[in-house]
Structure 1
Amino acid sequence: MITYEDIGVTPVINASGMMTRLGGASLSPAVASAMAHAGAAYVDMDVLKQRAGAMIAKWAGAESAWVTCGAGAGIAIMTAACVAGTDPRRIERLPNADWQPREIVVQSGHLINFGAPIAQMIRLGGGEPRPVGWANATPAELFAASLDDHVAAVLFVQSHHCVQKGMLPLADVIRLAHGRGIPVLVDAAAETDLRSYIEAGADLVTYSGGKAFGGPTSGIICGKESLVAACRAQEQGIARAMKVGKETIMGLLTALSTYVARSPTELLAPLTRVAEELLAGLKELPYTRAYIERDEAGRPIVRLVMQLDEVRLGFTAAALVDWLARTTPPVMVRTHRVNLGIIAFDPRPLRPPDVPVVIRLVREAYASLRSGGAQS
């Protein structure tokens, strides 16, 4: 076996979250075993994907489902399904769609970059993004007026990256779009609820399998049977470059089977314990407010937040982030509000032995930075 150390890669303590740049989720022994077992056999991939889709659809409360390599791919494939359908001539021409309808309406506050631009994922599927509204507001009247004959679908992005204030909620988006016979696609990449968007009436939803659900790097598309069939048809086109292997499919099914068997309370309780342990170890740091905060996008996630008084401390939150990233072992924290002097610690990827190490290294960072020294 070749290890990370063998090739000069240093494992890090991940207190940032289920981040693609840090490898997504860490795999449980059950998931890793399922992947190893699957990798030792040959199967008919079409049959495997159909059976896996049927299982996922049942868990999601959807008519149908399909597995792909990630939620970013899911956006491109969902777009392609709405732009090209199952027409092999159009599928072959993507992403160069020269027909209508091909426009994908997106609220301006949802046109984020999640590591790559949402707009680029739409274009990969042959769609043309049509932003509606502004970064801080989308009036319902303006949204409704944008739903013309050139629109193939509406994309709703559910993400902590998105602007929350002033955006039309999903229920209004579905009502207005369905009133014009236009399907609604949901990007729920890092979301935790496998059923709510289908229950709300979304036509297609894509999730990351390798984030909240604890699976390997993968993606799920679930929704209406006719549209999922169009997603499957894209494997003769752009989705061929987004295929997923047998090992990944079986690892994802194993992770999902465990995930759906647990209640929201069971999922939240261990996170709360880790956040409270972090708070107990860091709350006495000077000129720093430490507190536990619920997820800004409404997911059942808690995090330990530290708000630094940078002037009185004599160093910035960005300097603390840099110190922690360059120590041994490196500690990666959540930096979405670092420009405001705020960092956060996500308990989901932390293993029990990691917590005292994080507390110790943060304390060492404060001592070093306040004295003007460098990290060890």
Structure 2
Amino acid sequence: MLGRGAAAGGALALGPLLAGEAVAAGNSGSGTGEREKHGTRGRTSGYEDIGVRPLINGRGTYTVLSGSLMLPEVRDAIDRAARAYVQLDELADAVGRRLGELTKSGFGMVSSGCSAALGHAAAACVAGGNPDFHIQIPDLTGFGKTEAIIPKHSRNVYEAAISLVGLKVVEVETREELKAALGPQTALVYIFAMPRVEESELDTRTIVRLAHDAGVPVLVDAAAEILTVPNVHLGLGADLVAYSGGKALRGPQSAGILLGREDLVRAAWVHSAPHHGFARGFKVGKEEAMAMLAAVEMWSQRDHRAEYARWTSWLKSIARRVSSVDGVTTKIVQPEGLSNRTPTLTVLWNGEKLGVSGRTIVDTLYEGEPRIAINAASGEGPAQTGVSITPYMLEPGDARTIADAVVQLLKDPPPPPEKPKPPAVDVGGTWAVTISYAASTSTAHRLVLSQKGAALTGSHGGEFVTRAASGSVSGTQVTVRSHYGEEHGDSLNYTFTGTVDGDRMSGRLDMGEYLKATWTAVRKS
């Protein structure tokens, strides 16, 4: 199963999920020459002119990799929509009715991404389209509904869209906890769609039954999933479901859709731009609205089985090519799930025997030419390493390019990273840390470290939370990592690297999605 940031394929192998006849797969996407005209191999994209390198995407529809490529029909809809003026409320009404017809889901709304759809949906459940309430959001003082219930299995970084409107998150893990938490103060129950939801005591049907008994609507976040018609989540009883526009649907990356109960979807539109208040910043232009409608129109025509067969054939061709290297094994995984699936190829080998790790190959390909993005993988044994490839975002010819590049690096690996040196310093103790961010400085962080040989353990505290830390010392160089996971609804990843000089150390800080900073630290006596 792929996460929200990854691709969700259009596989229909377990039965028809769409109504009506499908057109040939070749009509649904870019043709053989599409990349040469608009993609990573040509220079017509304009990215190179400003120093940005396009890439071949073998990872999936990650937002940071700019999602998916829009279908030709979607690009055409944007161009046509940009040539005339309309009244946006009238457009939203017409598009909403047509989305409801196409998806058999009541009513629809185009938003500026799935996250925005979740926020508008939450506002609809809180304020119901009432402008007197709307202009007070996110200050819910005096509101009757002030809480959102999220099962523990659905806590994730994207729930920030729910908190955005001022709702307090209440976490539950059992049926009894859910029953106790539901009340007149509950605005909604939020579910992050994934296989483990249906494996939980709090599966969707159970959540829906208990929530509806209390008069509370249920919202499903299905950002990365395929769009099922009739909708699988609404079919399980959910009231609302939100999708990303720039993933499986291959619409604009800056758009999403909200589907479901007409009264709530219409209220969600009231709580979105162009209307004022908290949601003014989540503006959807006429171009995105018509482009998303085109993407959903095309979804009902695309030959999803043919698309899936094509992706699998690309993975098979890569597998045949890389298997020519002694010691390499491959496996194509066809995951099961309600509506979040895509084939994935895992390529494994013994890193000690071949002299290269999967991570090294991933990093080398990403910095190479052409630039190729794939994922690292690992096997069961400690020396088992490898890569994984998702075909959903590949274009014709990319499979061969990836296979050739991986084989070349397996046969002629880049130089291995420098081996760690024996530690020349002891960094045990408590360190007061100063971090210089892009436009601010923090003196609130601290590292509490214990050193045993080259290994470090301890904690990293900051303004928000204290989390476990670990790392190592090589000579006078130090590396310390800390992580605060999605199970809390947030995600923070810090990697401190630097040089130790007595009771002082300093260097670079990698914060993952929050980019980089510099840091200094002084050991407390």
TM over 0.5: yes
Distance in 2, Cα, partners of 1:118 & 1:167: 22
Deviations 1:259-309 (A, max 9, x none): 112354234222222222222222344444311112365534211122343
Distance in 2, Cα, partners of 1:210 & 1:290: 30
Decide whether the 8 Å contact of 2:225 with 2:341 is kept in 1: no
RMSD of aligned residue pairs (Cα, Å): 2.5
Distance in 1, Cα, partners of 2:112 & 2:375: 25
For structure 1, which runs of at least 5 residues remain unmatched after alignment? 134-138
Distance in 2, Cα, partners of 1:100 & 1:285: 65
Pairing 1:252–2:292 present: yes
Compared CA separation, residues 365 and 342, structure 1 to 2 (3 A)? closer
Compared CA separation, residues 187 and 342, structure 1 to 2 (3 A)? farther
Pairing 1:121–2:161 present: yes
Compared CA separation, residues 71 and 28, structure 1 to 2 (3 A)? same
Aligned length: 364
Which of 246, 268, 279 pairs up with 1:231?
268
Deviations 1:56-90 (A, max 9, x none): 11122122111101001111111111112222121
Pairing 1:173–2:183 present: no
Q: Give the structure with the higher percent helix.
A: 1
Normalising by structure 2, what TM-score?
0.65
Alignment of 1:23-42 (within 5 A): 23-42=66-85
Normalising by structure 1, what TM-score?
0.89
Decide whether the 8 Å contact of 1:106 with 1:154 is kept in 2: yes
State the secondary structure of the residue aligned to 1:185.
strand
Query: Which letter does structure 1 place at the counterpart of 2:68?
Result: A
Q: Which has the larger radius of gyration?
A: 2
Question: Residue 140 of structure 1 aligns with which residue?
Answer: 175
Which of 97, 104, 128 pairs up with 2:148?
104
Question: Residue 292 of structure 1 aligns with which residue?
Answer: 332
Deviations 1:19-42 (A, max 9, x none): 111111112222212211211222
Deviation at 1:110, TM superposition (A): 1.4
Pairing 1:206–2:245 present: no
Deviations 1:144-194 (A, max 9, x none): 33223321110011147x787646221221122112111000000011033
Q: Give the structure with the higher percent strand.
A: 2
Alignment of 1:324-343 (within 5 A): 324-335=365-376, 341=385, 343=387
Compared CA separation, residues 163 and 361, structure 1 to 2 (3 A)? farther
Compared CA separation, residues 336 and 315, structure 1 to 2 (3 A)? closer
Deviation at 1:343, TM superposition (A): 3.4
Deviation at 1:373, TM superposition (A): 8.8
State the secondary structure of the residue aligned to 1:350.
coil
Pairing 1:349–2:393 present: yes
Runs of 4+ in 1 over 4 A off after TM superposition: 162-165, 335-342
Deviation at 1:368, TM superposition (A): 3.7
Higher relative contact order (CA 8 A, sep 6+): 1
Query: Which letter does structure 2 place at the counterpart of 1:323?
Result: T
Decide whether the 8 Å contact of 2:56 with 2:394 is kept in 1: yes
Distance in 2, Cα, partners of 1:344 & 1:368: 20
For structure 2, which runs of at least 5 residues remain unmatched after alignment? 1-43, 419-525
Deviation at 1:202, TM superposition (A): 1.1
